[in-house]
Amino acid sequence: MKILTTNSIDSIIQYINQLDLNVYMINVNLDDGNLSMIIELHKMNQFSKYDKYLLTNYITSFLSIVMSHVYVTNELYVMWNKNELNTELVAYHMKISDDEVNQLVNHKVTNLTDLHPNFNEISFLTRSINEHNSTIAIMIMFDQLGFIKHWNIQRSTLACFILTVKKNYRTPTYHNWTHAFTVGHMAYVALNIESTLINQYLDKIEQLTLFVGALCHDIDHRGFNNNYQTLIHSPLASIYGYKGSILEHHHVDQTMRILNLTDCNIFSQMSNVEYKRCITLLKQIILATDLYQHITIMPEIIQMTNDVYNPCNQRHHELLLCILVTGCDLNDQCKNWYNTRDTAKLIYHEFFNQGDLEKVYGTTPLPSLDRNKAFIPELQIHFLDSIVQPCFKTLSIILPKFQSTLNTIQVNKQIWQMLSDEFHGNTLMNYTNECLFEKIYDKLVEDYMITNNLSY
C-alpha cells in the first residue's frame, strides 16, 4: 500500500490494468481529494468485469471510509499535540518569577487604610492606587474577607494567581488591570460593609467566587465589544459565537487556564464537591457581566426584591450574585462626577477606536461609537437612566448601605443634564468631547454644584 499526495494517477493505473489482466489496481480518493491510496490486487486468473465492479464499488468505498478515519484521527492527534504545545508555551510566558511572588508575599503593608484612609468606603476613588499597591491591596482583601484562612490558601499561590491575572490583562484604555482592580474593590466593599447581611444571604464559596469573578471578569479584553468580534469574524467569534457573550466566555476560559496552573490554583485545598461548585459559580458570575444578559434577567431580579430576598431560594442566590457583579462592574458611575468624566474619557477612547474601524469595514457604527456624532452628556444620561440607576436602586433594596450610591448617581446625572442643557441653549455653542475631557468645563460644573447646593 502506498499513499500519494497527487490526484493525477488515474491514467497510470488505467495503463497498468490494461497491460496485465491478472493485476487490478484501484485509486481510492479520500473525501477531501487531497490524498489517494493505490491498492494493487493479484489473481491467479484474470479479473472479470464483475470482479472489477465489486472491487470498485464496494471494497473501495469501505477502504475509503477506513482511510478517511485514519487520516482524521491523525489530524486530531496532531492538533491535540499542537494544543498541548501552545498551552505549554502560554504557561511559560505567563509564568511569574519567584522574585515577584516573594516580593508580594513579603509586602510590608498591614492595613488597607495604610494605602488610603478611605479605602474601605464605597466612594473611594480606586484609580488613585498604583499598580504595585493594587496587588498588595488584593492580597490583604483576600485575607480580611477570611478566604485565606477558610481554605488554607498558600500565600505564594495567591500571590502568583494575582500577578498572573494582572499579567493577562491587556492595555486598552479602559478594559485593563486598573478596571479589574476597581471592580474587585467594589466587590470587597460590598462583602465587607454589609458583612452581616451578606453572611445571611451568601455562603463562603459564593462570596469567594464573587470576589475572584470580579477580578477576572474582563481578563484578556482587547478593547472591542462582542458585536465587533462578530463583524470581523474574529477567532474569538469563531470559537464562542454560537454561545453568545463571546468575550465573557473567553474571560471564563482564560480564568480557567490560570487556575489550571499548579502555582496559581487557589482552589486546590477544596473538596471535589466544593471545587466543582466554585467553578460553576465563577462561570455564571463572569457571564453575568455581559450587559445584554443583565438586561435579560433584570425583570426577574426586580421581582426577587419585590418578593423579598429568600436565602433558602437558590435562584435568589444566583440573581444576587449577578446584580452584585454588575454593580461592581459599573462602580465608576457611582463615584464623583470628575472620576466619572475621567472614566468616560477612557471608555469613549475605546468606543471611538472601534467606530473608526467599523467604518473601514463599511458599516455605520452606533452613535456612541462614532466620534463625529457622539454627544457624551446625553449618552451618559441615557446610560445612567437605563442601566446604572435601576441596578443600584435594586441593589440598595437588598443591601441598604448602597443607598449612598443613589445620591451620587443623581448628582452626576444632574451635572450631565446641565451640560446638555447649556449646549442646547447655545451657552456651550463650541462644545466638543475633547474640551470635556481636557477639563475645560470643570469650572462650570463647580459653579453649578455650589449654586445648587449639590454634594456627595
pTM of the model: 0.84
User: pLDDT tens digits, residue range 372-422?
Assistant: 999 999 999 999 999 999 999 999 999 999 999 999 999 999 999 999 999
Active-site annotation, residues: 175
Instruction: Look at residue 442 and tell me whether its pLDDT is greater than 80.
Output: yes
Instruction: Identify which has the larger pLDDT, 16 or 35.
Output: 16
Instruction: Look at residue 254 and tell me whether its pLDDT is greater than 80.
Output: yes
Other residues' Cβ atoms within 10 Å of the Cβ of residue 214: 28
User: Is residue 217 marked as binding?
Assistant: yes
Three-state secondary structure call for residue 423: helix
Instruction: Look at residue 31 and tell me whether its pLDDT is greater than 90.
Output: no
Instruction: Look at residue 30 and tell me whether its pLDDT is greater than 90.
Output: no
Pairwise CA distance, residues 231 & 358, whole Å: 8
Give the 3-state secondary structure of 347-399.
HHHHHHHHHHHHHHCCCCCCHHHCCCCCCHHHHHHHHHHHHHHHHHHHHHHHC
When pLDDT is cut at 50, 70 and 90, the band that residue 235 belongs to is very high
When pLDDT is cut at 50, 70 and 90, the band that residue 1 belongs to is very low
When pLDDT is cut at 50, 70 and 90, the band that residue 353 belongs to is very high
When pLDDT is cut at 50, 70 and 90, the band that residue 237 belongs to is very high
User: Is residue 218 marked as binding?
Assistant: yes
Instruction: Look at residue 348 and tell me whether its pLDDT is greater than 60.
Output: yes
Pairwise CA distance, residues 365 & 173, whole Å: 20
User: pLDDT tens digits, residue range 87-103?
Assistant: 777 778 788 999 999 99
Contact 175, 383 (CB under 8 A): no
Instruction: Look at residue 255 and tell me whether its pLDDT is greater than 70.
Output: yes
Note the pLDDT of residue 228.
97
**In this predicted structure, which of 88-92, 193-197, 432-436 has the lowest mean pLDDT?**
88-92
Note the pLDDT of residue 320.
98
Pairwise CA distance, residues 429 & 432, whole Å: 9
Note the pLDDT of residue 4.
47
Task: Find the angle CA(195)-CA(201)-CA(206) to the nearest 5 degrees.
Answer: 85
Note the pLDDT of residue 225.
98
User: Is residue 176 marked as binding?
Assistant: yes
User: Is residue 178 marked as binding?
Assistant: yes
Provide the β-strand partners of residue 37: 3, 28
Instruction: Identify which has the larger pLDDT, 18 or 259.
Output: 259
Note the pLDDT of residue 82.
76
When pLDDT is cut at 50, 70 and 90, the band that residue 35 belongs to is low
User: Is residue 179 marked as binding?
Assistant: yes
* Angle of helix 314-329 versus helix 272-287 axis, rounded to 10: 50
Note the pLDDT of residue 59.
74
Question: Going edge to edge, which strands form the sheet with 23-29?
Answer: 2-4, 36-42, 23-29
Note the pLDDT of residue 425.
86
Q: What backbone torsions phi and psi does residue 217 show, to the nearest 5 degrees?
A: -65, -25
Pairwise CA distance, residues 382 & 79, whole Å: 48
User: Is residue 175 marked as binding?
Assistant: yes
**In this predicted structure, which of 163-167, 171-175, 424-428 has the lowest mean pLDDT?**
424-428
Note the pLDDT of residue 7.
53
Strands 2-4 and 23-29: unpaired
